[in-house]
Chains A and B, each alone.
Chain A
C-alpha cells in the first residue's frame, strides 16, 4: 500500500493523501512505484529526468526521509508514504517549486570573481592536489536539495524567514566552498560577507542530517567549519557569543566560567578499586566539569561499580570544540596539543568521556591536528562511556544490580553521538536493561535539539526554534522523562522544555540515571 501526498491548487484541491495498491517486486525503486501509480491508477505529478541519480530532480520524502526516487529501493511490500520534499512550496502533488533555489544561487555569484579585468594566467595558477580533488568532489553536487529537506535550520528558515536565512547545505558546499578553494577567485571578502549576512552560516548546528541523506555523502560539517574559519580569517567572525568561549579558553584553558567547585577538584586523581579489570583515563569536558558535576560523579561511580580503575588527570583542559566549530582552528589545535600531552603522560591508552562534543573532537579533529604537528597520531583510544560499557566491558558482563525505575521514557539522539560517532544502539541497549523503564521512540528522535555547532551560543533565536520542534516531539510522545547522553542537548532541552512546556517532562542524563539505579539498589 502506497500513500501519496496529493494537492492541485489549480482546481482548489486541499492537500490530502491517497492510497494506491502497487504490486511489489524484488529490486523495485521508488521511481518505479510512482511511475506505476501514474500509469495504472492516475497521473500524479512528480519529477524525474536522468533515472541514474545524477540530475537530482526526483527528490521526494519517503516515510519521512528525503531520498532520490530513482536510487532508492523499496525493501518490501509494506506501507510507503511518499510526500513532496520538505521546506519547499508545493506546485502540485510531489512537485516542489525550485525557482527560489535558483534565485538564491544567483545571489551567491558562484562564478569566478575577478577584481580586475586581467585574464587569468591559468597555466601559472598554483593548486594543491588536495584542494583540486576537493573541488571536483564538491562541484559534483547533484543539486537535489535533499540536504535542505533534511535540515533543521533550513526548516526554521522556511517556516520563519525572519529568524534565519539559512537555505540548506548545497549553497555552502557547491556554490561557495568550491569558489573559496579556487586560488583564481578574488571574491574572498565578498563571499565571507555573503556567508555571514546573506545565508547565515552560523545557523548550521553541524548535525550532519544533510550528510545522512546526501547522494554524494558530503562531509558538510567539515566544509562548514572551513567556511567559518574563512569568515574568521577575513575578520568578520566568529560571532560575539562564540568569542566568549574562545576568550575563556585562551585565558583559562576552559570554555566556561567557574560557578561551583569543578569536578576535577572534587575528586582525587586516582580512584582505585579492589580488583580492577581495566584502567581508564576520564576526560571530563568543560560542561560536565563546571556545570553538570553530578553526571561526572555518575560516570566515576558506574566505572567503579564495574571494577574499573579511573584516573582523572588534573591538568586537563577544554577539548577546543567550541573554537573549532566556530572556525577558530588555531585555538582548537593548541588545546589538542595540551590535552594529548597531558593524557599520554599516564601510559594508559583508554580515555573515557561523557560528552559527545568532546568525543567527536578527540576522534575527528585531534588526529589531524596532532599529525600536523608531530607527524604521528595520539597514542590514545577514546570511548564514550556508554560505548565503553557496551562494547569494551560487554552488555552481558556489566553489573546489573539495578533498582527498578518506574517511568515512561524516550531517548533523544545527540547528533554528535549518533551521526558524528556512530553511537545510537549502545544507549538504547543500556536503557533496555534498567528494570521498570517503559521505552518508546519519539517522532524525529534523531533530529537536532538546536544547541550544536555554536548555534546556541551565537544564534540563540535559531537555536530556540529548532529546539521547539524537538520538545514538541518529546511532549507528543507522552512520556515522563526524556533520556539523552550529551551535556549540550541536556541543557538545551531542559531550557526549551521549560520555556514552551513548563518543564512538563523530566530531562535525564543516561549515565546519571544508571548511577542512580545502582544507588537505588544499594539502598534496598
Chain B
C-alpha cells in the first residue's frame, strides 16, 4: 500500500524554476496560501536553476520600448501575440528591478545606469546578466510557501470543467500527494530532454527533468497548445575537463572566447521550446482554473534569451490571477483514486516480456533527435511518427524493475515516458503539417517561408484523440486550407 497524503490550498504551483517561483511569490503576496511542487531540487531545478545565472534584459529598456517590441515581434516571425508582447515590454522593467530588491546585484555605472550587453536577434544591447535562481528561491521560502521538492505531478484533476488540483508522487518519501487547489499554475518548463537523455550535454542542454510533463498534463485536461513544432537549437560548448572548468550550457559568449582552445567543441543541442499551452494576458489557459507561465506556456513565442523576462512578467500575472480565483467544487475522490491506481499499476506492471523505461526512451529520443531535431523533412518526420506509434504500443509492456516506492527514479521515468510520447506526437504532427521554414523551425524539403503558414497549429484532445487545427493570422479568407483528420494515421 502506498500512503496518500491529502492537502488543500488556495494556489498550487507546479514547477520550481523562474516562472513557478515568481507565480508562487505573486500569489502569496496577494494573501493566498500557496503550495509549490518541484520535480527537481528546489532552487536548482528547471532550466533556470541549471544556469549559473539568469539573462534578463537591462532595466532601462522602457526608453526603448518600441524597439524591444519590434525585436521580439520580428524575432518570432509574426507568431508572437502582440497583446502579450506589449505587456511583457511595459512590465519588464519592474520585474527586473524586483530581482535587485530580492538581493541580486546589477552592475551600474557612475550615473546609476545598468550596463547591458548584446544578445542574438536584438537590434541593440539589452541583456544584463547576474541574477541567481537561488536568490529568488529564498524569497519563496521567506514567505513561508510550502515547497515539496523532488515531487512529480502525475495528473491534473478536474471537477466538471475546471481543474481542482493535482496528484503528485513524492520521491523522497515514496508517497503520493493529492493537492486540492482553487487554482493551479503550470510552470513545468519545456521538453528538451525529449531529444536526448545522455549523461552529457549532447542533443539537449536541458536538465533531465524537462520531459514536457506540463504539456501533457494540460493536454490531458483539454487545454489548447500552440507552436509545438518550434524548438530552438543552440550551439553548445561541450566541456572536456573536469574540475574548475564548469561551463554554463548557454554561456556561448564564453565559448566563443575560448573557441581556440582545443578542448572545446560546439555541438548543436535542443535548447528551448517556443510554443506551449496557450495563455491569455493573465496566464489563463483555455481550461478554467488552470494557468500557465514560462516555457510551458505558448503565445509569446519567446526565444531562450527573452524567456526569463517572460517567466517573470507572466509568472507574476498568473500567480496574481490564480490567487483571486473563487473556490469551486473539490477534487472528486473517484478521480484521485483512479490516478493513484494508475500510478501504482505502472509500478506493479510485470509482463513477461517487460521493457525498462530507458530502453523505450532511448529509442524515442534517438529518433526524435535524428529525424526531428536538427534536420527534418517529410520522410524523416514520417519515420519518427512510425517509431512513435511503435513506442505507444510498447507502453503497456513497460516494467519498473525496482518495486520499492522510496526514491524510485525508474518509476518516475516510466511515468514520464507516457508524457514524452504525447509531447513527441504533438511535435511530430505539427512539424509534418508545417510545410515551410519559419524562424527556428526549418524543414529541409521546404527551406523557404510560406505566408500561407503565418498562423498556429492548435493542438487539443478531442474525444481521446489528438486534434490539430490551423488558425491563420492573416484573416479567415487568406488563411491556408489545412484539413487535418485527427484519426489520420501514418501507415
The interface residues of chain B lying within 8 Å CB-to-CB of A110 are: 103, 138
In the complex, whether B199 has a CB less than 8 A from a CB of chain A is yes
B208 near A51 with CB under 8 A, answer: yes
Q: Which residue of B lies closest to A178 (CB)?
A: B103
| Of B105-113, B120-128, B316-324, the one with at least 4 CB within 8 A of chain A | B105-113
Partner of A54, one of B248, B407, B409: B248
A12 smallest CB distance to B (angstroms): 11
In the complex, whether B386 has a CB less than 8 A from a CB of chain A is no
- Give the interface centre of A32, A139, A140, A141 by most chain B CB atoms within 10 Å: A139
The interface residues of chain A lying within 8 Å CB-to-CB of B401 are: 42-43
The interface residues of chain A lying within 8 Å CB-to-CB of B49 are: 50, 55
Knowing A54-B249, A122-B100, the reply to whether A49 touches B141 (Cβ < 8 A) is no
A95 near B44 with CB under 8 A, answer: no
Alpha-carbon gap, A10 to B243, bound state (A): 35
A57 near B105 with CB under 8 A, answer: no
In the complex, whether A35 has a CB less than 8 A from a CB of chain B is yes
A71 near B199 with CB under 8 A, answer: no
In the complex, whether A119 has a CB less than 8 A from a CB of chain B is yes
The interface residues of chain B lying within 8 Å CB-to-CB of A97 are: 172
Alpha-carbon gap, A129 to B254, bound state (A): 21
Q: Which residue of B lies closest to A46 (CB)?
A: B409
Alpha-carbon gap, A29 to B239, bound state (A): 12
Q: Mark each residue of chain A from 60 to 86: 1 if its CB lies under 8 Å from any CB of chain B, else 0.
A: 000000000011110000000000000
Alpha-carbon gap, A142 to B108, bound state (A): 26
Knowing A43-B410, A102-B42, the reply to whether A143 touches B134 (Cβ < 8 A) is yes
In the complex, whether A332 has a CB less than 8 A from a CB of chain B is no
Knowing A51-B208, A52-B249, A55-B49, the reply to whether A70 touches B199 (Cβ < 8 A) is yes
Q: Which residue of B lies closest to A102 (CB)?
A: B42
In the complex, whether A217 has a CB less than 8 A from a CB of chain B is yes
The interface residues of chain A lying within 8 Å CB-to-CB of B69 are: none
A382 smallest CB distance to B (angstroms): 27
B43 near A112 with CB under 8 A, answer: no
A29 near B51 with CB under 8 A, answer: no
In the complex, whether B247 has a CB less than 8 A from a CB of chain A is yes
B44 near A56 with CB under 8 A, answer: yes
The interface residues of chain B lying within 8 Å CB-to-CB of A179 are: 103
A72 near B102 with CB under 8 A, answer: no
In the complex, whether B139 has a CB less than 8 A from a CB of chain A is yes
The interface residues of chain A lying within 8 Å CB-to-CB of B112 are: 122-124
Alpha-carbon gap, A11 to B242, bound state (A): 37
Partner of A9, one of B53, B207, B406: B406
A111 near B249 with CB under 8 A, answer: no
Q: Mark each residue of chain A from 1 to 42: 1 if its CB lies under 8 Å from any CB of chain B, else 0.
A: 000000011110000000000000001010110010011001
Knowing A11-B404, A45-B409, the reply to whether A52 touches B201 (Cβ < 8 A) is yes
A139 near B135 with CB under 8 A, answer: yes
- Give the interface centre of A11, A57, A93, A109 by most chain B CB atoms within 10 Å: A57
In the complex, whether B405 has a CB less than 8 A from a CB of chain A is yes
In the complex, whether A277 has a CB less than 8 A from a CB of chain B is no
Within 8 A of A (CB), among B318-370: 356, 358
Q: Which residue of B lies closest to A10 (CB)?
A: B406
In the complex, whether A98 has a CB less than 8 A from a CB of chain B is yes
In the complex, whether B246 has a CB less than 8 A from a CB of chain A is yes
B409 smallest CB distance to A (angstroms): 6
User: 10 tightest A-B contacts by CB?
Assistant: A123-B112, A50-B50, A53-B246, A10-B406, A49-B207, A43-B410, A92-B407, A50-B207, A43-B402, A31-B199
Can you list 30 A-B pairs with a CB-CB distance of less than 8 A?
A10-B404, A27-B240, A31-B199, A43-B401, A45-B408, A47-B41, A51-B198, A51-B201, A52-B201, A54-B51, A54-B246, A54-B249, A55-B49, A56-B41, A73-B242, A92-B407, A97-B172, A102-B42, A102-B43, A106-B141, A106-B142, A110-B138, A112-B101, A122-B106, A123-B108, A136-B130, A139-B134, A140-B53, A142-B44, A143-B43
Which residues of B approach A to under 8 Å, CB–CB? 40-45, 49-53, 97, 100-103, 105-108, 112-113, 130, 132, 134-135, 138-139, 141-142, 172, 174, 198-201, 205, 207-209, 239-240, 242-244, 246-249, 356, 358, 400-402, 404-410
Could you list 15 further interchain pairs (A-B, Cβ under 8 angstroms) beyond the known A71-B246, A139-B134?
A35-B199, A43-B400, A45-B407, A51-B208, A52-B246, A55-B40, A56-B41, A70-B199, A70-B200, A72-B242, A92-B406, A105-B141, A139-B135, A140-B132, A217-B244
Which residues of A approach B to under 8 Å, CB–CB? 8-11, 27, 29, 31-32, 35, 38-39, 42-43, 45-57, 70-73, 91-93, 95, 97-99, 102, 105-106, 109-112, 119-120, 122-124, 127, 132, 135-136, 139-143, 174, 179, 182, 215-217
